[in-house]
């Protein structure tokens, strides 16, 4: 339990239903859906749709979605991959012929076909009680009638001003009068409201066929994109079998590749072999162990993670005890190992995560993304749809498992999580923050299970992350200076993060007491609420 004399927030406890999101309007929307007779899936989609309006830099209907769902709180967890694919014509042959060796963020080639709307439609049809048209109404109202800009949203908006200004259609919506809206100022997205209403009236095909798809394709092709209306019409997410590992007597479930959940499980396996120690999670020794495990796991991620429909991703070997032990053995307890070792096998930023549990204990772990803030920065002007830049997840190295190809899904950073025990779901959870997410899953669960922090304290604790590209260690300023100096002396290149590291939400299900306990990350504007 936290020291009540210090600033902070307590976990939220409720008996019936609960939602935890990164925006209060989304959390409230979810509870209203639950109280009006909807279930957890209805509430999750409704809340996410609201976030696509009120957190426009973090997510949108031009992005992707993943979901883990525990029906009636059982451990028979259902996974769904709603990540979009590259256009059919986007082959390595094409890019080599054009002399393109990397994608600029604002390039149309960074835009993959959005999968979120299709995912919402399928998940509601199969697991919800309400229609897509019904659950979209709160989001449509906020887009049409306006919503106030909240503090973290404003900070992210300000950080992206140059990107927003670079595209006329984006600036027209998100820089009214050429400026970032102020905190508390009302903002509208009229074109997006009309698009969402069309989806509400006509279903997911209103996005993937007809005017909206045609407009997006014409817009991207005008910039040199390879997208076609056939690419949009062919979009369809799929159910997947979750992958798991055991941690402190609990089973941790993740979506399989092309998402990086595999490497969250690997990190748990590696860290489970270390003595957590009695001094808490923020010690030089523990942080060094975590950072070194991060270097090794992300090196493996970059080498092996890809769309399994195109590449053989060695899931069983990566999750084996032998592989975790080999990785653990490479960690030098006295100094940072840069570059990290390649442990051979025997053969990327802004996102919203939310979770909802209803009175029947249906549990939803739900994540939706544009990747970087405002994705590609490209907005189709007629529909108001901001387009993701998930194509940045591809490699343009011929022969690499994650090399771009037509109809292929890129390496994905967004990963919902679910914990089960004794045949029941006990905690849907998730972490936002692009590359951080796999490492963040390990940090959150370690702080909760290894150190006994409550669900809110486990989110509040200081965070850090090795940048997989530069090797620099971003450490939040809440980590004591003397500890930062000790890590630097061990060879870690310490830098302050440009903004708080990630965000998170979680709900613990106490089956014996019939109580839900939720937490929401203080680095975001949101909250956990229930009834």
* Residues tagged active-site: 351
CA distance 150 to 19: 19
| Strand pairing report for 186-187 and 503-510 | unpaired
Q: In what order do the strands lie in the sheet with 64-70?
A: 238-240, 78-82, 64-70, 363-371, 350-357, 18-21, 527-530
CA distance 440 to 438: 5
Peptide bond into 339 cis (omega under 30): yes
CA distances from 40 to 30, 66, 251, 432, 511 (A): 8, 15, 22, 20, 17
Q: Where are the alpha helices (DSSP H) in 82-236?
A: 92-97, 116-127, 132-135, 137-145, 151-159, 161-165, 168-174, 190-202, 205-208, 211-221, 229-233
Counted residue by residue, the chain has a size of: 531
Instruction: Read off the DSSP letter of residue 374.
Output: T
Long-range CB pairs of 485-488, under 8 A, 24+ apart, other chains included: 486/284, 487/284, 487/287, 487/288, 487/291
CA distance 473 to 496: 8
Please enumerate in sequence order all residues whose Cβ is within 8 A of that of 307, keeping only pairs 6 or more positions apart, or say none: 257, 258, 402, 408, 409, 410
- Strand partners for 367: 66, 353
Question: Whose CA is closest to 314, among 305, 302, 322, 324?
Answer: 305
Torsion of Cα atoms, 21 then 169 then 162 then 182, to 10°: -50
Q: How far is CA 469 from the centre of its chain?
A: 19
CA distance 348 to 293: 19
Please enumerate in sequence order all residues whose Cβ is within 8 A of that of 219, keeping only pairs 6 or more positions apart, or say none: 169, 378, 380, 381
Q: Could you give the 3-state DSSP secondary structure of residue 270?
A: helix
Question: Whose CA is closest to 51, among 386, 378, 288, 345?
Answer: 386
Beta strands in 271-384 (DSSP E): 350-357, 363-371, 378-380
Q: Could you give the 3-state DSSP secondary structure of residue 321?
A: helix
* Token pair of 70 as six digits: 């525990």
- Strand partners for 12: 518
């Amino acid at each position: 339990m936290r020291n009540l004399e210090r600033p902070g927030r307590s976990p939220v406890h409720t008996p019936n239903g609960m939602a935890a999101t990164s925006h209060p309007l989304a959390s409230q929307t979810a509870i209203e859906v639950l109280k009006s007779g909807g279930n957890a899936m209805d509430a999750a989609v409704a809340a996410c749709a609201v976030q696509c309006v009120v957190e426009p830099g973090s997510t949108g209907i031009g992005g992707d979605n993943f979901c883990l769902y525990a029906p009636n709180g059982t451990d028979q967890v259902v996974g769904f991959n709603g990540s979009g694919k590259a256009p059919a014509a986007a082959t390595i042959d094409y890019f080599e012929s054009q002399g393109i060796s990397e994608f600029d963020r604002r390039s149309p080639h960074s835009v993959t076909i959005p999968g979120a709307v299709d995912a919402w439609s399928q998940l509601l049809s199969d697991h919800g009680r309400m229609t897509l048209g019904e659950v979209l109404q709160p989001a449509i109202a906020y887009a049409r009638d306006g919503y106030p800009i909240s503090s973290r949203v404003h900070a992210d908006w300000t950080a992206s001003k140059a990107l927003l200004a670079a595209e006329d259609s984006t600036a027209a919506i998100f820089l009214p009068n050429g400026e970032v809206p102020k905190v508390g100022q009302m903002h509208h997205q009229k074109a997006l409201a009309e698009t969402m209403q069309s989806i509400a009236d006509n279903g997911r095909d209103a996005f993937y066929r007809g005017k909206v798809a045609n407009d997006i394709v014409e817009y991207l092709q005008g910039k040199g994109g390879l997208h076609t209306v056939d690419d949009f019409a062919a979009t369809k997410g799929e159910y997947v079998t979750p992958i798991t590992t055991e941690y402190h007597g609990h089973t941790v479930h993740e979506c399989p590749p092309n998402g990086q959940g595999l490497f969250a499980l690997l990190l748990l396996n590696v860290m489970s072999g270390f003595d957590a120690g009695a001094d808490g999670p923020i010690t030089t020794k523990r942080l060094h162990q975590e950072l070194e495990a991060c270097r090794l796991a992300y090196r493996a991620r970059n080498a092996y993670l890809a769309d399994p429909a195109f590449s053989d991703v060695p899931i069983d070997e990566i999750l084996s005890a032998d592989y975790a032990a080999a990785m653990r053995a490479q960690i030098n307890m006295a100094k940072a190992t840069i570059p990290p070792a390649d442990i051979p096998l025997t053969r990327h930023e802004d996102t919203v995560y939310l979770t909802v549990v209803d009175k029947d204990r249906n549990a939803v772990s739900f994540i939706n993304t544009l990747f970087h803030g405002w994705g590609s920065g490209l907005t189709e002007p007629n529909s108001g749809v901001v387009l993701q830049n998930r194509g940045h997840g591809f490699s343009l190295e011929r022969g690499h498992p994650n090399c771009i190809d037509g109809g292929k899904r890129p390496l994905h950073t967004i990963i919902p999580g679910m914990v089960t025990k004794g045949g029941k779901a006990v905690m849907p959870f998730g972490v936002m923050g692009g590359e951080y997410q796999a490492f963040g899953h390990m940090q959150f669960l370690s702080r909760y299970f290894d150190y006994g922090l409550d669900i809110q304290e486990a989110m509040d604790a200081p965070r850090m992350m090795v940048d997989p590209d530069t090797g620099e260690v971003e450490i939040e300023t809440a980590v004591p200076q003397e500890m930062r100096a000790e890590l630097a002396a061990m060879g870690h290149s310490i830098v302050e993060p440009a903004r708080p590291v990630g965000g998170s939400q979680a709900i613990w299900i106490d089956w014996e007491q019939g109580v839900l306990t939720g937490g929401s990350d203080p680095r975001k504007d949101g909250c956990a609420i229930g009834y």
